[in-house]
Structure formats: C-alpha cells, structure tokens
Amino acid sequence: MSKKEDYESRTEALIRPILDRLGFFLWDVEYVKEGADHYLRAYIDKENGITIDDCVEVSRALSDELDREDFIDEAYILEVSSPGLGRALKKDKDFERSIGQSVDIKTYKPIDGLKQMTGVLLSYDKDSIEIASEDGKKKKIGRSDIAKINLSVDF
C-alpha cells in the first residue's frame, strides 16, 4: 500500500464514526499534492445536501482525530466539503450509488467515434460499465478506457 493509500484509508477509518453519528455519508477521501502543498480532502454528503456548517463540524472533529493519531508525515491542508453536483465517480461505491442516474463520460480514445458521451448508468463491474446512451442504445465501456466519469448536471 502506498503512503497516499495508507493516509486515505486511515483517514476514512477516523471520519466514518463522526459521519455515522451525524447521519452523513462519505463520498471520498483523497490525499494529493498540488504545487508545493499537500491536501487531505474529505467529501461528505447527506440526504438533503451538505451545508457549510456541516463541513465545519466534521472538519473540527476530524482535525482533532488526525492530531491525536498524527500519522501524516508532511504538513497538509485539511478540506472537508460536498462532492458537488457533478461529482466524479471513482470507486465501486460511487458507481453503486449512481445506478440509474445520468453520467457524463470522457474516454481516452474514441468509442464508436465519440470521446464524450452521456447516458444512464445501468451497471458496472471491475472491468466495465454499461450505460443506456441518449439514443436509447446500451453501450459497454471498459473502465480502463474512461478518463473521467461524473454525474450529469442539468440546470
């Protein structure tokens, strides 16, 4: 397990009891380096959406736990936020929660002549996803071919 994966996994273990107590759920945790800074980001959600006050409450509780455990070697910036409307689907749990919802997909190479497509997520497994495209046809797309997949945002 890489240091990044270890930090993310241990942070997930610390934040889950906090979120369970508040009735929230975890969308994702990521540890990234951007420029000279490291960021530890937790994306949280709840049934009717997350507020700034929710983020502050979770951030304070998580910060206390992180200070107590002190397992991250580098200085980092902690951010707790909503995953946003067009949230990225990265892990199996993201795909599971998104079955039946519209997704926007960008691929590394054209599939049926397209590098961008939108459709309803029908299913997924470790190797591929299946969508019902806008024209009603089912398409199977290899997960390794997907550069980015997000929930569609309609205004």
Residues 27-46: tens digit of each pLDDT: 899 999 999 999 999 999 99
DSSP 120-154: EEEEE-SSEEEEEETTS-EEEEEGGGEEEEEE---
Q: Could you tell me the residue range of the domain that residue 18 belongs to? A: 3-81
Domain check: are 11 and 73 in the same one?
A: yes
14 and 63 both lie in a single domain = yes
Number of structural domains the chain divides into: 2
Average pLDDT over residues 110-126: 92
Answer whether 0.75 is exceeded by the pTM.
no
Q: Does one domain contain both 136 and 98?
A: yes
The tens digit of pLDDT for each residue in 40-72 reads 999 999 988 899 999 999 999 999 999 999 999
Angle between helices 3-22 and 52-69 (to 10 degrees): 130
CATH classification at residue 120? 2.30.30.100
Q: Are 145 and 79 in contact (CB under 8 A)?
A: no
Residue 136: left (phi > 0), alpha (psi -120 to 50), or beta? left
